[in-house]
Amino acid sequence: MIWQRTGDPLGDFVRLTQLLEEALERAGAAKDGTLGQKLNAEPVQDFLRGLGDARVEDGLYRLLEARNQVIHARAEVPAWVLTEGPTLLARLLYHLELRGFYEHREVQERYAFLKASPPSPAQQPQPIEPARVRVPFERAAGAPRPPVPNRRFHLRTLFLPRRPLR
């Protein structure tokens, strides 16, 4: 399996956009560039026009807009992205497979990621409380006190520089 859903909305969203970028690169976009540049690349635009499915193209631009808001404006991942995004990407992968950009096995691996539901959250460990909590400076009964250093700072005179008063 290529990806695993984690249940973390931001992590799943980033994985979804990475799969989208990979699909756009397979459709002819350059590997270096932003998601917007990949979506607006000439081969990708020709591919999207040839689909005849305006929902895919509109959905990709909505997904790009949501990605820019999440990454650059640090907004929350919109709820529709994790529900509509996988079906949009699955539709795109289907069309890419029909055109020969993906092998059937590769698309099935990506479908498995898109269809998988996130795992349930892991159990949180319970802290084990000690039998008796001690005060930070509490001594155990019968323990000797720490020695006090024998320094005679009070006998030493301090050298203070003389400054004229202004």
pLDDT of residue 65: 92
pTM for this prediction:
0.64
Under 8 Å CB-to-CB from 132, ≥6 apart: which residues?
none
Residue pair 2/109 in contact by the 8 Å Cβ criterion: yes
Number of Cβ within a 10 Å radius of residue 159: 5
pLDDT digits (tens, 9 = 90+) for 98-152: 888 888 888 888 887 777 766 555 667 776 666 665 566 666 677 777 777 776 6
H helices of 27-143, where?
A: 35-39, 42-51, 54-72, 79-98, 104-115
| Residue (of 53, 57, 115, 55) closest to 82 by Cα position | 115
Taking alpha carbons only, the member of 153, 1, 162, 5 closest to residue 86 is: 5
Half-sphere exposure of 20 (CA within 13 A, CB side): 28
Q: How far apart are CA 40 and CA 99, in angstroms?
A: 19
pLDDT of residue 1: 37
Is residue 76 packed enough to be buried (19+ CB in 10 Å), middle (13-18) or exposed (0-12)? Answer: exposed
**pLDDT of the residue at 14:** 83
